[in-house]
Amino acid sequence: MKKIIMMAALLLTVSAFAQKPAGDPKGGISADLLKEISKGFEGTPADIALQNALNSAQITVLSAKAGNLAKMDTHFSDMVKTKGRTNQKSSGRCWLFTGLNVMRAKMIDKYDLGAFTFSQNYVFFYDQLEKANLFLQGIIDTKDLPFEDRKVDWLFSNPISDGGQFTGVSNLIMKYGVVPSEAMPETLCADNTSAMRTQIATKLREDGLRLRAAKGDLQKMKVDMLKEIYHMLALCLGVPPTEFTWARYNSKGEFVDERTYTPKSFYQEYVGTDLENNYVMLMNDPVREYYKVYEIDYDRHVYDGQNWVYINLPIEKIKEIAIKSIKDNTAMYFSCDVNKFLNRDAGYADLGNFDYGSLMGVTFGMDKKERVMTHASASSHAMTLIAVDLKNGKPAKWMVENSWGATSGYQGNIIMTDEWFDNYMFRLVAEKKYVPADVLGLLNQKPTMLPAWDPMFLPEE
């Protein structure tokens, strides 16, 4: 009987495959077509030498152009004053480090401080708590939609992350303030967020299913769920201080004063800028129309905060604003496709660093618009734009302060040629006083709404 059942199951399986619609045979790889395609590798001595080399060294090593680093120049005509370099370690918090570094540079200069840093861990705690609430409230808001709905699917696919963008910086800091790093130091989980994020995401997905199935007081259920998330965060990151004492020293190491602050009073005294209304996000996306305003649905860190809104501008217009800001000693939030043509050891981004085409025997000819359209390029990392080198009034190169530690790249920085900037820079956040009135006037437009799952707007890490 067992053999008969197994044979019947096998026949059903074979029948199912037989009934499966076949693809068009004209579009497949036939034996004759494979024979023709295989002529692409002739097996010449040069081919064999490259094949052997690629089995013993990385493509980036073999494609590196000899002598290109000799072009690297570390002189800059205009540079923002800043001290010390931060390290996000194994986390996706570049957006947060960058936002805090922009404020840090101004505070160091204004108060003649030494190598001061804000606590990234403090703001990150509330970022994770707010994102958990954003997800849970989103599940409540979409409760009547089918589980297969695109927005519901997106919510369960993205319950929480450690990535983000400048809107998160502005909303979180204006709501919760900031503290110096010694008031809430980094922890192992803050430096290595993956395991913590995985556990919180799993818990949130479970809670999301419970909310969709429930018929009682959903807001009360959400509060109980957030208590558990808070508990998990406190175990991993520590409990955020509500009050602390900070001793201030000047750049010479001399004691200035010591006082007690709350996170919000500390922010008001030493920064005081209205982050939500004093800055504007600019973007260079050649796929979409320039001089238009766009908004990304559900792209925020705080449920009652602001969606990501930006003005799309030609690259030359963005450069004008960046130069004006740097000349006034003001750093900017900057993001780009960082790993393209980057020599990580030297901290030098130049289109001439690598010749992948010659190594592989092919050509790569897409421009920036085509790369964005085909998902070959998008913004991946945020850094702090701090310098430009002007030659006859035109930028020759730029420099960003990175958050990969003081020993990474060029003294913790990355130097990029102007040509690289054109091709792989995407976003800049500038103070409104550096933005021309006609550009600011574009904010009066009703933004074009884009979906949260647009790949161009993945969180920066």
| Residues labelled as active-site residues | 94, 381, 402
Amino acid at position 65, single letter: K
Q: Among candidates 99, 132, 142, which has minimal Cα distance to 297?
A: 142
Residues in the chain: 461
Per the DSSP assignment, residues forming a β-bridge with 259 are 246
| Integer Cα distance of 143 and 160 in angstroms | 19
Structure tokens at 325: 């800001």
Amino acid at 131: K
Terminal-residue alpha carbon distance, the chain: 59
Q: Structure tokens of 49? A: 């030498």
